[in-house]
Structure 1
Amino acid sequence: MPPGSPSHPALTPRRSPLLTLVAALVIVEALILVGAAVYLLHGLLVEDAAAPIAAIAMVVMALIFAVGVGFCGWGLLHRATWARSPVVVWQLLELAAGIPAFSGGSPWVGVVLVVPAVVVLVGLFVPSVSAQVSR
């Protein structure tokens, strides 16, 4: 690449540390989804599942979402503009799932879902991060 080209590494500004944190949290969320799929699969194989077809569907969906969320986290690390919208939608879905957990007897589930979602949502709209993932 010639030094004057826009994609030359010397001309690319450093990634914001907050953007790195946001992307890392999104990747951790993908890993949590993989853990949830393993947990569901364990329940299907070891325990007597009441609805095995539903359990298999949940495992498959958790893995599909894990791949999608992980890909979006990778996209944020590489400042891809397309990654921002699906990450925002995913965080809103996490909030919708996490907030009721506080009153449902599992506040730790609410914390695990709500805290990263809020950090990612706020982080995506901080001007230094927003400038790096928008056109």
Structure 2
Amino acid sequence: MPDRPEPRPTPQRGGGSARPPLLTAVAALVALEAVLLVGGAAYLVHGLLVEDAAAPVAAVALAATALVFAVAVAFCARGLLQRAGWARSPVLVWQVLQLAAGWPAVTGGSPWLGVLLVVPAVLVLVGLFLPAVSGQLSR
């Protein structure tokens, strides 16, 4: 039987073929944020269907906006996994917006919701500036 040549690993953007675990963790957190946005949209739709909504048009618009943002955030998470440098800026902006929305909830009436928004945002912000991650995205 003839010997088959070993398949070579295809190099990815950013240099080596192995993705750093920290970059994978940051991308996974961003993907989790996208899933949470879909959950928030589902909660709004559930409120429309089950409860008598005071402003149904506003609830539908907010749910649709959440779904659009979920798609955009998921696209950015995919970009991070592919080591695309363009993905870093929108992810940074999203984390700042998420902090701005979550911090008043932490100190106000919904601390569990605030923690759900603030903790991933802080972890992603810190992760994006770690040398192992930022070096992969700036190439």
Fold shared by both chains (TM-score > 0.5)? yes
In structure 1, C-alpha distance between the alignment counterparts of 2:30 and 2:59, rounded to whole Å: 25
In structure 2, C-alpha distance between the alignment counterparts of 1:105 and 1:75, rounded to whole Å: 35
Matched, 1:128 2:125: no
In structure 1, C-alpha distance between the alignment counterparts of 2:73 and 2:64, rounded to whole Å: 14
In structure 1, C-alpha distance between the alignment counterparts of 2:79 and 2:101, rounded to whole Å: 24
Structure 2, unpaired ranges of 5+: 1-8
Q: CA deviation at 1:13?
A: 3.7
- Look up the match of 1:79: 83
SS at match of 1:110: helix
Q: 1:17 aligns with which of 11, 21, 25?
A: 21
Matched, 1:112 2:113: no
Report the number of matched residues.
129
In structure 1, C-alpha distance between the alignment counterparts of 2:63 and 2:114, rounded to whole Å: 21
- TM-score (ref. length: structure 2): 0.88
SS at match of 2:23: helix
After TM superposition, list the pairs within 5 Å mapping 1:1-135 onto structure 2: 8-9=10-11, 12-135=16-139
Task: Write the letter of the residue equivalent to 1:84.
Answer: R
**Which structure is richer in relative contact order (CA contacts within 8 A, separation 6 or more)?**
2
In structure 2, C-alpha distance between the alignment counterparts of 1:9 and 1:134, rounded to whole Å: 16
**Which runs of 4 or more aligned residues in structure 1 lie more than 4 Å from their structure 2 counterparts after TM superposition?**
none
Task: Write the letter of the residue equivalent to 1:88.
Answer: L
Identity across the alignment (%): 67
Structure 1, unpaired ranges of 5+: 1-6
- TM-score (ref. length: structure 1): 0.90
Larger Cα-atom Rg: 2
In structure 2, C-alpha distance between the alignment counterparts of 1:40 and 1:123, rounded to whole Å: 31
1:93-124, Cα deviation, whole Å (9 max, x unpaired): 01001111122121111111111101100100
In structure 1, C-alpha distance between the alignment counterparts of 2:112 and 2:63, rounded to whole Å: 22
